[in-house]
Amino acid sequence: MQTLVRPLHQGVKSALQDVTPTRLRLLVFLNCFCAILFAFAAVTTVQQHHHAVQTVGVDAAPSVIAASEIKIGVEMMDTDLAEDLLYTPGQQEALDVEQDFEKWRTLVSKQLVIAAKNITYGKTEQVPIENIQVALGQYLMQVQNVRDLHKAQEDAEALPAYRKSLETVKTLLLPAADALNKANADVLETIYAEEKSATNLSRGFVLLTGLILIAVLMYTQIFLSVRFRRRINLPMLITTICVALFLQKLGTALGDNSRFLKVAKEDSYNSIFSLLNARADAYAANAAQSRWLLDSNRAEIYEKEFADKAGLVARFDRGHDFKETLARARNQLANNEALNLPGLSGSMADELANARFPGEAQAAMQALESFGDFCDLESKMRDMKSSAERRYAMLLYLGYRPSQSKYAFSKFDDALERTLQINQDQLQHSVDEALHNLDGLSVGAQLIALLAVISTCLGLLPRIEEYVHCSPKPRH
Amino acid sequence: MQCEQTDCEGDVIDGVCQSCEATKSSSPRGAARLQRVSMSLQALKEPQESERSTDDLLRASEELKTIVPDNYDAWRAQADLWLAAVHQLETRQIQSDDTVKLMGVPLVEDRLRDSAEEALRQCAHFASTVEIRVSLIDEANRIRRATWF
């Protein structure tokens, strides 16, 4: 043991005593160690950034969107079924509604496949997808039964059958879609919060190791210049410049990556999440409205359901309403101010507070305005309680004229779709840019480390050799 | 019997040329001459108020020319000659003159530095310990002329 400790002790002692060959060997070790540490830190940090972007933009966000689309599709299938029952069998409008039902059924099936293909978090995602798949088959059979009874003019039996299908929607399909949504949304939020602090920390560490490497390379350069009267050590100089340039590129790329990730998560995804929630709740309110017309025995339940769901989209404190809030928002936009709408809460309030991209605030305001019109028409409809008025209420609900409910709802949906599209495009763009930013950085860091090791050998070994062979070096 | 070396007319006794042997630094006569030269070189290194002439350096150079450097002291003496010249040039005690040659090296700072460096590295080959060898290479690097690479 003593024989092992002694050379080490002597080495440390001579390094401290500034013996040139020992100091040179120490510099070789230090340069190589710092280069390898830098490469390790850089590769780890790049992988961490990649993982964060992959989780937010590729793994979780599309699954959250797919889950919301499933929820919206199911709500619309229910609305179409209720409306189907409001029309006489064989009527053109009834056929249109059936076609619309098919459109939503296809969308749900496609989104289910997208969600299944994107299972990343195991059973928390797989189980809800399986439940949706099983419940969807059951629901479609119940829908067919309702339709058959309605076509056979057996409406007295069709309504309980409809209620049964509605129960499947409410107890199986929507909770499973919510569970799928929650599984991905929770993971996304957790990983984003973790990765955000971790990536900042690791970015700081990689920049620190890079600066240490540059400092060691520069110290070596100065040491050689003073001790050997050789002004420049070319391999070391080239490496120092390469490390400095790469560090600058790495710092910029990682900074840009974090910025793009922030845009993707906080600006785009959060808006998408709010918009999808607004859309799902608005569709649920719309479905409640159709059920209010269809099932008058349970009108109070559906009226409350409408109020609850509409309140999740946009709710106003006392003294505030759609008109006042929209006027304030327009004024703020005209003055290029950030939107600050006191008294408004709900998904649309979240979206308006997070409107960041060109045209987004305008589209969201149009959606809010149309939703206001839709709610106004709904309250008019609620006042028509007698059977004669109820017929007029049906026209008001089912009509596509500017003063009718479907028109306002379609306008709301179009504006919401435009707002969603703006955010989805930005999300995709940010994720692509964030991933593109990291291209080649891992390989670059490894090459830089290799260059530093090679140049250290090329730059320092000939100087160490002088002390071994004592031979005069050729002049330059 | 005469020595077979060109430019040597010394007598060979017991297979050894007496004249050639006298020029070797390792021989007793060579060592004595070397010690004399070394002492005069030490004196040259010491500071002096008035301007020096190159005569002392040339005298030492002529003396050293007659000694074949085959040990540490001989190379050290050669190096000291050039180091003294460099020192005197640096302190402006003498002026550069490429017509004056010390051991065949013109009295120009860079050329003297090159030769001193080479001599010190040669000297390092004969160093008795690693510490001395390291200090000689350090000295060679300290005295060498500054280069870009």
State the CB neighbour count (10 A cutoff) for residue A139.
25
Is pLDDT at B64 greater than 60 in this prediction? yes
Query: Tell me, what's the pLDDT at A386?
Result: 66
Q: What CA–CA distance (Å, rounded) separates A164 from A365? A: 38
Residues of B in contact with A230 (CB under 8 A): 146-149
Residue A252 lies in a domain: yes
Q: What is the dihedral of CA B46, B47, B51, B55, to 10 degrees?
A: 0
SS3 A384: coil
Q: pLDDT band at residue B49, thresholds of 50, 70 and 90?
A: low
Is pLDDT at A107 greater than 90 in this prediction? yes
Residues of A in contact with B146 (CB under 8 A): 229-231
Residues of B in contact with A232 (CB under 8 A): 148-149
Domain ranges of chain B: 13-143
SS3 A316: strand
Residues 6+ apart with CB under 8 A from A30: A216
- The answer, as to whether pTM is greater than 0.80, is no
Secondary structure letter of residue B9 according to DSSP: -
Residue A158 lies in a domain: no
For B148, the closest of A232, A466, A470 (CB atoms) is A232
Query: pLDDT tens digits, residue range A218-265?
Result: 999 999 999 999 999 999 999 999 999 999 999 999 999 989 999 999
Residue A213 lies in a domain: yes
The residue segments making up the domain with residue A424 are 19-58+196-469
ipTM over 0.85: no
Residue A128 lies in a domain: no
Q: Which helix (H) or strand (E) holds A389?
A: helix A387-398
Return mean pLDDT, chain B. Answer: 82
Is pLDDT at A472 greater than 70 in this prediction? no
Question: How many domains is chain A partitioned into structurally?
Answer: 1
DSSP symbols for A193-237: HHHHHHHHHHHHHHHHHHHHHHHHHHHHHHHHHHHH-BS--HHHH
Mean pLDDT of A426-449: 94
Residue A384 lies in a domain: yes
Scanning A229-321, the segments in alpha helix (DSSP H) are 234-262, 270-294, 299-313
Interface test with A, best of B72, B109, B147, B148 (most A CBs within 10 A): B147
Q: What CA–CA distance (Å, rounded) separates A181 from A81? A: 25
Residue A355 lies in a domain: yes
What CATH number is given for B13-143 in this structure?
1.25.40.10
Tokens 């797919």 correspond to: A66
Interface of B with A in 101-130 (CB under 8 A): 114, 117-118, 121-122, 124-125
**Hey, are the CB atoms on B141 and A228 less than 8 Å from each other?**
yes
For residue A364, which amino acid is it? A
